[in-house]
C-alpha cells in the first residue's frame, strides 16, 4: 500500500464531525432512554432493557453485512460514501420518533414501539458509522496519524454527546426531577428530540459531503470474485478470528459488557445513590468534558512513548479504579456523604479522570484495530477494512446491549421500584444496587484487560507490513 501524504487538518475535522451523530445517540440511549421509558412512560425496567438489548443485537448482526458489502462495492462515489449518504434522513427521522411513543397503557405495545424504533435508529446509524470508520484505514497507513485521526472522531463524538448532555440537564429539565419540566416530565424529552434529531442528520451529511473529494485518492483494488454464501461466511469468520484480531475482539466484547452496565445505571447511581439534581448532573457532565479535552492532550505522547497496547492497559486500569472507588469508599463510610460540600468537587475530579482515561484508551483501541488490517491483508490478500471495523462495532453493540439488559435485571433483583422518587427509595435497596453495579464492572473490566494482553502488533510489525504491501503492489503494477 502506497504511503499517502499527511492529511490536512480540515479533512480530519470534517471526517470526525460525523461522529457528533453517534455521540448524541449514545448520550440519549445511555443517559436518558432507560429512565424515560421506565420512570416516565411506565414500562418495567426489565422490559426496557430487553428491548434495548434485542435492538442492539439486530443492529449488530447487520453491521458485518454492511461492512462486507462496502468492502466489495465499486462505484464512482467509492466504496463507503453511498452508504453514508443513505443514512442521513433515516437517522434523523427514527431518532425523533423514538422519543414520541403512543399514549397507550399496554406494556406489550410500548415494548414493541421501543424495540422497533431503537432497532431502526441503530441500523440507520450503523449504515453510516461502519463505512465511515472503515475510511480511517484507507485515509492513512501511518502508525501515529491513525491515532490522531481516531482522536478527531472521538473528539467530535464525545464532545457532541457531552454538550448535548449538559444542555439537557442544564437547560431542558428543571432542577427538581419530580417537578413539572423535570427529569420525570415527558415534555422535556420531546424538546430534546426536536433538537437532537436534526443535529444528528446534519452532522452525517456535512461529514459525508466534506470527505467526498478524498474518494479519488484512495487505493482502488479490483472487485472481489463472486462467491457463494458459505464461502463468504467462511472468509468472514477466518478474518474476524485471525490471530492478530481475536485478542482485541474478545477484549472489546468484555469491555462492552462493562460499558453497557456503567452507561445504563450511571444516571440511577447519580440520582438515587448520590442524590444529585439535574444541575449537579450537568456539572459532572462538564467534568467529563474537561476529561475529554485532557485525553486528546495525553493520548498521542503516551502512545509514542510506551506503545498503543501497554498505554491502553494502564489507562483502562485507571478508568476502573476511578469508576468504582467513590462508590466503594462511600459504602464503607470513607467518602463525603450526600449534602457534604466536598461531595460534588470530588465527584467532579473522578468524573474527569474517568473521561480522560477511558476516551484515551478507546482512541488507542480503535487505532489498534486499524493496525490489524495490514497484518490480515498481508496473510490473506484481502482488503477487509469494513468487515473488521464492523466486527468491533457488532461486538460493542451486542455485548453492550447485554450490559443494558443486565442492568434491568439488577434493578429487578434489588427490587428497585418503578416511578421512584429521589430520596424515597429504601437506602438498603439503593446500596445493594450500587454494590452489584461495582462488582460486575470490576469483573468484566479485568477480564477485558487480560484478553488485551495477547494483542501482538507493535509499531515495527505495522511498519513492516505496510512496507511489504507497498512492495507487492509495486511489483504487481
- The pLDDT of 368-382, averaged and rounded, is 81
pLDDT tens-digit profile of 137-152? 788 778 788 888 888 8
Q: What's the pLDDT score for residue 2? A: 43
Is a pLDDT exceeding 50 seen at residue 289? yes
- The pLDDT of 285-303, averaged and rounded, is 86
Q: What's the pLDDT score for residue 371? A: 86
Is a pLDDT exceeding 80 seen at residue 233? no
pLDDT tens-digit profile of 242-279? 788 888 888 888 887 887 788 778 888 888 899 888 78
- 474 or 336: whose pLDDT is higher? 336
Q: What is the pTM of this model?
A: 0.70
Other Cβ atoms closer than 10 A to 105: 7
- The pLDDT of 59-71, averaged and rounded, is 78
Q: What's the pLDDT score for residue 334? A: 93
Q: What's the pLDDT score for residue 174? A: 66
Q: What's the pLDDT score for residue 464? A: 87
Q: What's the pLDDT score for residue 406? A: 76
Q: What's the pLDDT score for residue 477? A: 54
Amino acid at each position: 500500500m502506497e504511503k499517502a501524504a499527511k492529511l490536512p487538518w480540515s479533512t480530519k475535522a470534517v471526517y470526525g464531525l460525523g461522529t457528533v451523530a453517534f455521540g448524541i445517540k449514545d448520550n440519549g440511549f445511555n443517559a436518558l432512554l432507560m429512565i424515560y421509558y421506565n420512570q416516565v412512560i411506565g414500562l418495567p425496567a426489565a422490559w426496557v432493557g430487553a428491548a434495548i438489548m434485542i435492538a442492539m443485537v439486530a443492529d449488530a448482526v447487520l453491521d458485518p453485512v454492511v461492512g462486507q458489502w462496502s468492502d466489495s462495492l465499486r462505484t464512482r462515489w467509492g466504496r463507503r460514501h453511498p452508504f453514508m449518504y443513505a443514512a442521513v434522513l433515516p437517522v434523523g427521522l427514527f431518532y425523533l420518533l423514538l422519543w414520541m411513543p403512543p399514549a397507550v397503557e399496554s406494556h406489550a405495545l410500548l415494548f414493541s414501539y421501543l424495540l422497533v424504533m431503537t432497532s431502526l435508529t441503530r441500523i440507520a446509524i450503523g449504515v453510516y458509522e461502519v463505512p465511515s470508520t472503515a475510511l480511517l484505514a484507507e485515509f492513512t497507513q501511518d502508525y501515529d496519524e491513525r491515532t490522531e485521526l481516531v482522536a478527531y472522531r472521538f473528539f467530535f463524538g464525545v464532545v457532541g454527546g457531552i454538550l448535548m448532555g449538559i444542555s439537557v440537564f442544564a437547560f431542558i429539565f428543571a432542577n427538581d426531577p419530580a417537578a413539572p419540566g423535570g427529569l420525570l416530565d415527558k415534555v422535556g424529552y420531546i424538546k430534546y428530540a426536536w433538537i437532537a434529531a436534526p443535529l444528528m442528520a446534519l452532522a452525517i451529511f456535512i461529514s459525508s459531503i466534506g470527505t467526498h473529494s478524498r474518494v479519488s485518492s484512495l487505493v482502488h483494488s479490483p472487485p472481489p470474485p463472486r462467491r457463494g454464501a458459505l464461502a463468504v461466511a467462511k472468509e468472514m469468520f477466518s478474518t474476524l478470528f485471525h490471530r492478530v484480531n481475536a485478542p482485541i475482539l474478545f477484549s472489546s466484547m468484555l469491555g462492552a459488557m462493562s460499558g453497557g452496565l456503567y452507561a445504563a445505571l450511571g444516571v440511577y447511581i447519580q440520582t438515587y445513590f448520590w442524590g444529585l439534581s439535574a444541575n449537579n448532573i450537568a456539572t459532572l457532565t462538564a467534568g467529563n468534558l474537561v476529561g475529554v479535552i485532557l485525553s486528546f492532550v495525553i493520548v498521542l505522547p503516551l502512545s509514542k512513548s510506551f506503545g498503543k497496547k501497554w498505554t491502553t492497559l494502564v489507562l483502562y486500569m485507571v478508568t476502573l479504579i476511578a469508576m468504582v472507588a467513590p462508590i466503594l469508599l462511600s459504602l464503607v463510610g470513607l467518602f463525603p456523604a450526600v449534602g457534604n460540600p466536598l461531595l460534588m468537587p470530588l465527584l467532579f475530579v473522578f468524573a474527569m479522570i474517568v473521561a480522560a482515561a477511558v476516551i484515551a484508551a478507546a482512541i488507542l483501541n480503535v487505532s489498534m484495530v486499524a493496525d490489524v488490517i495490514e497484518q490480515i491483508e498481508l496473510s490473506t490478500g484481502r482488503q477487509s477494512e469494513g468487515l473488521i471495523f464492523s466486527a468491533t462495532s457488532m461486538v460493542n453493540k451486542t455485548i453492550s446491549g447485554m450490559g443494558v439488559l443486565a442492568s434491568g435485571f439488577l434493578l429487578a433483583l434489588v427490587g428497585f421500584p418503578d416511578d421512584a422518587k429521589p430520596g424515597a427509595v429504601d437506602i438498603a435497596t439503593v446500596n445493594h444496587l450500587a454494590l452489584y453495579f461495582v462488582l460486575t464492572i470490576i469483573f468484566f473490566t479485568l477480564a477485558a484487560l487480560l484478553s488485551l494482553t495477547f494483542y501482538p502488533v507493535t509499531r515495527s510489525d505495522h511498519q513492516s507490513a505496510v512496507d511489504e504491501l507497498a512492495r507487492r503492489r509495486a511489483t504487481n503494477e
